[in-house]
Amino acid sequence: MNGTVLDRAFYDRPVVRVAQELLGKRLVRDWQGQRVSGLIVEAEAYLAAGDPASHSYRGPTRRNRSMFGPPGHAYVYTIHTRYCLNVVCESQGVGAAVLIRAVEPEEGMELMARWRSRSNPLDWTRGPGRLCEAFQLNLQWDGWDLTTGHGLWIEQGPALPEWTLGVSPRIGIRLAQELPLRFFVQGHCFVSGTRRLNGHTQAGFAWLQQLPVGASRRKAVMNFPKPQSPRQSKLDN
């Protein structure tokens, strides 16, 4: 299950490109030797310039200083008593980051279920605040170097069926709503937001096989249809 850890060069590139290419990669948390992981299915880019919705828009502060640090580190912030996880991109001194908005659970689901205290697996990691709770991420992880392969990192994901890149405006922002900077796996059942923004289907990659045995699995299988046949994938640019 282990994969190659994404290195600093991956993050040291234009933030929009990193946001798109993070889809399908695996976010991993090591908790006492146990892996908690999921495949990234939704991400948003926040630009270093010309983006009033970005926390970096007004320059460095105590809160957002990680955003201006070296690429490949985490930027974790609080919002409405929740935490959100970003990965810092582009050169040091440049305030660009990708918000990880949703992952499909892969490993450590017992821990996710405990930490999220919700029976429906779809509620574990669908949304930036939810996935931080499912991975037990908080401000202690702000500034964490994601390229070491310890504690918290992102690695090359598994081979996936072909899928379609979805693009939309970012969710939950007031300013710069016109910018198409949200990227997601079209139709994936762990993508947050409304149907209109998300696409029509409710397919996942492989999560049905990963669910715990028992009542929660039966319920999940009943509630959520099987993945439909794959479609084209392409990340141009």
Partner DNA sequence: CTACCGATTGACT
Partner DNA sequence: GTCAATCGGTAGA
| Sites of contact with DNA (CB under 7 A) | 44, 46, 53-56, 58, 61-64, 67, 75, 77-82, 84, 86, 97, 99, 116, 118, 123, 127-131, 170-175, 192, 194
Give residue 35's identity as a one-letter amino acid code. R
Least distance (Å) between residue 208 CB and DNA: 21
Minimum distance from CB of 44 to DNA (Å)?
6
What is the Cα–Cα distance from 14 to 91, expressed in whole angstroms?
Answer: 9
CB of 166 to DNA, least distance (A): 17
Q: Which is nearer to DNA, 17 or 118 (CB)?
A: 118
Which residue's CB is nearer to DNA, number 174 or number 234? 174
163: its two tokens: 């899928």
Phi, psi of 150 (to 5 degrees): -125, 145
Task: Give whichever of 16 and 149 is closer to DNA, judged by the CB atom.
Answer: 16
CB of 230 to DNA, least distance (A): 27
Q: Which is nearer to DNA, 18 or 149 (CB)?
A: 18
Q: How far apart are CA 16 and CA 39, in angstroms?
A: 18
Q: For 107-166, give the DSSP string.
A: E-HHHHHHHHT-S-GGGTSBSHHHHHHHTT--GGGTT-BTTSSSSEEEE---------EE
